[in-house]
Amino acid sequence: MNYDIIVIGSGPGGYVAAIRAAQLGFKTAVIERESLGGICLNWGCIPTKALLKSAQVFEYLQHAADYGITVQGGEPDFNAIVKRSRSVAEGMSKGVQFLMKKNKIDVVMGTASLKKGGKIAVKLNDGTTKEYTAKHTIVATGARSRELPNLKQDGKKIIGYRQAMVLEKQPASLVVVGSGAIGVEFAYFYNSIGTKVTIVEFMDRIVPVEDEEISKQLEKSLKKAGIQILTKAEVTSVDTSGKISKVSVKTATGIEILEAEIVLSAVGITPNIENLGLEDVGVKTDKGRVLVDDFYKTNVEGIYAIGDIVKGQALAHVASAEGITCVEKIKGLHVDPINYNNVPGCTYCSPEISSVGYTEKAAKDAGYEIKVGKFPFSASGKASAAGNKEGFVKVIFDAKYGEFLGAHMIGANVTELIAEVVVARKLETTGHEIIKSIHPHPTMSEAIMEAAADAYGEVIHL
Ligand SMILES: Cc1cc2nc3c(=O)[nH]c(=O)nc-3n(C[C@H](O)[C@H](O)[C@H](O)COP(=O)(O)OP(=O)(O)OC[C@H]3O[C@@H](n4cnc5c(N)ncnc54)[C@H](O)[C@@H]3O)c2cc1C
């Protein structure tokens, strides 16, 4: 039971780290207590996108007449939607099983904890225990839904994201507390299939990490779609004694009582760092996260941590990039630390939002003199043809050197468009290089080129 590398947790951080380790010739094992693929494949990125696709199909059907198609009937079947989402997740998890086999990575199903001397104790899922030894141990145990003291999840009336994905019946009404990506995606999904949805956000705008103009546009779009939104509002208590829960919300104008069949708490995540033996082996943590250096090494020789349990954006692609960086560094390859300001963030509601780099405010706060360009999809030929004219692309450049500081998009499929800007920023591309890169017509991507042109007073289609 001796390995070069043992990875604890098989989410997008853990399983990707394991594959890269195997590619680099390390004898590798992964220990997983639940399902291969972690939260991302089983309870996060993938099953939510499957639910959202069903919502989108239903929306298309409702608007089929706009495209000259007559459709009769077409009602959402909630249980079938959930069933499809679960089967997509299951398929993805099986895919990871295949990848482990293909890369000759041993999979141990059980709960791991660290012991001194590179040892790992595993309580196997069959009830027995076993000890493993590794030269390098990568901890990638992910996170769970964060609980607020006045919003304790009971799994029935006050739920977290897991239950929200597998409810037995569609709720007639839902209060979503928190308007980050997870909250907004569930709000959009349930609203679009007919649930009455209210979002309660503590900050003064929804999706508060995004550029202010994006928040404003999204709020407008979601309200138009029928979602009620309360900002600068705080849930103080929930009375779950009746069939319908009463949610007390403190707003600028006083206490408001919202009624809802289900309350979804989407107020962030709590890293899984308990019961792992971190204290026993002396690994330092801070504010609930494991402390690591630029290459994910903890203060204890041979122990590393990646993904949602370390600082940085809690996103699947971040966890994977950290896993690869960590393993390549162990191998002694030349690797650069990750630039967290070049990590794209996407929210898959409708309209979608995506962003990378500085917001306008962050760029100004950082002392940049900036040039801002914007291009609305209402002026895009492809958007018109597709019937997706809502939204815009906003780009931000450094006025002095033309550096591409950031991009913020809202509209159909913008989660696919953002990759262009990620590459542009990685290659330190300037605004004029974007303008001079011929974009295919008609595509939504032309909006990036046009927005860059707008920043320099050269926009054509406005
Ligand atoms: C509803 C939702 C939607 C999301 N959508 C997106 C999205 O669209 N895009 C995106 O980039 N991110 C998304 N995320 C975030 C993304 O899922 C996480 O950032 C990502 O899964 C983190 O990867 P990880 O490898 O750190 O941990 P995880 O994926 O959480 O995996 C950790 C694994 O470790 C296992 N484990 C924990 N403790 C032990 C132990 N002691 N022994 C053995 N195994 C253990 C767990 O069972 C789990 O399988 C979403 C999250 C949620 C909740």
Give me the mean pLDDT over the 31-35 stretch.
98
Task: Find the farthest-apart pair of alpha carbons in the chain and give their distance in angstroms, rounded.
Answer: 69
Residues near 141 by beta carbon (within 8 Å), at least 6 away in sequence:
8, 9, 271, 272, 273, 276, 307, 309
Q: What pLDDT digit, counting tens, does each position of 117-148 carry?
A: 999 999 999 999 999 999 999 999 999 999 99
Assign 258 a pLDDT band (cuts: 50, 70, 90). very high
Q: Which atom of ligand 1 is nearest to the CA of 316?
A: 11
Give me the mean pLDDT over the 221-241 stretch.
97
Q: What pLDDT digit, counting tens, does each position of 373-385 carry?
A: 999 999 999 999 9
- Determine whether the shortest distance from the Cβ of 32 to ligand 1 is under 6 A: yes
- Determine whether the shortest distance from the Cβ of 319 to ligand 1 is under 6 A: yes
* Summary mean pLDDT of the chain: 97
Quick one: pLDDT at residue 213? 98
Give me the mean pLDDT over the 70-83 stretch.
95
Residues near 267 by beta carbon (within 8 Å), at least 6 away in sequence:
146, 148, 151, 177, 178, 183
- Tell me which residue has its CA closest to atom 50 in ligand 1: 44
- Tell me which residue has its CA closest to atom 3 in ligand 1: 44
Quick one: pLDDT at residue 73? 87
Q: What pLDDT digit, counting tens, does each position of 274-328 carry?
A: 999 999 999 999 999 999 999 999 999 999 999 999 999 999 999 999 999 999 9
Please list the active-site residues.
441
- Determine whether the shortest distance from the Cβ of 44 to ligand 1 is under 6 A: yes
- Tell me which residue has its CA closest to atom 13 in ligand 1: 45
Q: Is CATH 3.40.50.720 the classification given to domain 2-145+270-340? A: no
What is this structure's pTM?
A: 0.97
- Determine whether the shortest distance from the Cβ of 15 to ligand 1 is under 6 A: no
Quick one: pLDDT at residue 157? 97
Give the whole-number percent of the chain exceeding pLDDT 90: 99
Q: Which atom of ligand 1 is nearest to the CA of 186?
A: 1
96 Cα: distance to centroid of ligand 1 (angstroms): 14
Whether the pLDDT of residue 448 is over 90: the answer is: yes
Q: Which atom of ligand 1 is nearest to the CA of 112?
A: 42
30 Cα: distance to centroid of ligand 1 (angstroms): 15
- Tell me which residue has its CA closest to atom 52 in ligand 1: 44
- Tell me which residue has its CA closest to atom 8 in ligand 1: 45
- Determine whether the shortest distance from the Cβ of 141 to ligand 1 is under 6 A: yes
43 Cα: distance to centroid of ligand 1 (angstroms): 8
Quick one: pLDDT at residue 214? 98
- Determine whether the shortest distance from the Cβ of 40 to ligand 1 is under 6 A: yes
- Tell me which residue has its CA closest to atom 21 in ligand 1: 40
Give me the mean pLDDT over the 260-278 stretch.
97
- Determine whether the shortest distance from the Cβ of 328 to ligand 1 is under 6 A: no
Q: Which atom of ligand 1 is nearest to the CA of 348?
A: 8
Q: Is 253 exposed, middle or buried (0-12, 13-18, 19+ CB in 10 A)?
A: exposed
Give me the mean pLDDT over the 48-77 stretch.
96
340 Cα: distance to centroid of ligand 1 (angstroms): 18
- Determine whether the shortest distance from the Cβ of 164 to ligand 1 is under 6 A: no
* Cα 110 to chain centroid, rounded: 26
Q: Is 301 exposed, middle or buried (0-12, 13-18, 19+ CB in 10 A)?
A: exposed
- Tell me which residue has its CA closest to atom 48 in ligand 1: 38
Assign 1 a pLDDT band (cuts: 50, 70, 90). confident
Q: What pLDDT digit, counting tens, does each position of 92-118 carry?
A: 999 999 999 999 999 999 999 999 999
Provide the residue ranges of all domains of the chain, joining segments of one domain with +: 2-145+270-340, 158-267, 351-455
- Determine whether the shortest distance from the Cβ of 262 to ligand 1 is under 6 A: no
Give me the mean pLDDT over the 388-397 stretch.
97
CATH of domain 158-267: 3.50.50.60
Q: Which atom of ligand 1 is nearest to the CA of 161?
A: 1
Give me the mean pLDDT over the 335-359 stretch.
98
Q: What pLDDT digit, counting tens, does each position of 160-201 carry?
A: 999 999 999 999 999 999 999 999 999 999 999 999 999 999
Whether the pLDDT of residue 25 is over 90: the answer is: yes
Whether the pLDDT of residue 441 is over 90: the answer is: yes
33 Cα: distance to centroid of ligand 1 (angstroms): 13
14 Cα: distance to centroid of ligand 1 (angstroms): 9
- Tell me which residue has its CA closest to atom 37 in ligand 1: 141
- Determine whether the shortest distance from the Cβ of 18 to ligand 1 is under 6 A: no
Q: Give 351-455's CATH code, choosing from 3.20.20.140, 3.30.390.30, 3.40.50.300, 3.40.50.1820.
A: 3.30.390.30
- Determine whether the shortest distance from the Cβ of 9 to ligand 1 is under 6 A: yes
- Tell me which residue has its CA closest to atom 51 in ligand 1: 44
- Determine whether the shortest distance from the Cβ of 8 to ligand 1 is under 6 A: yes
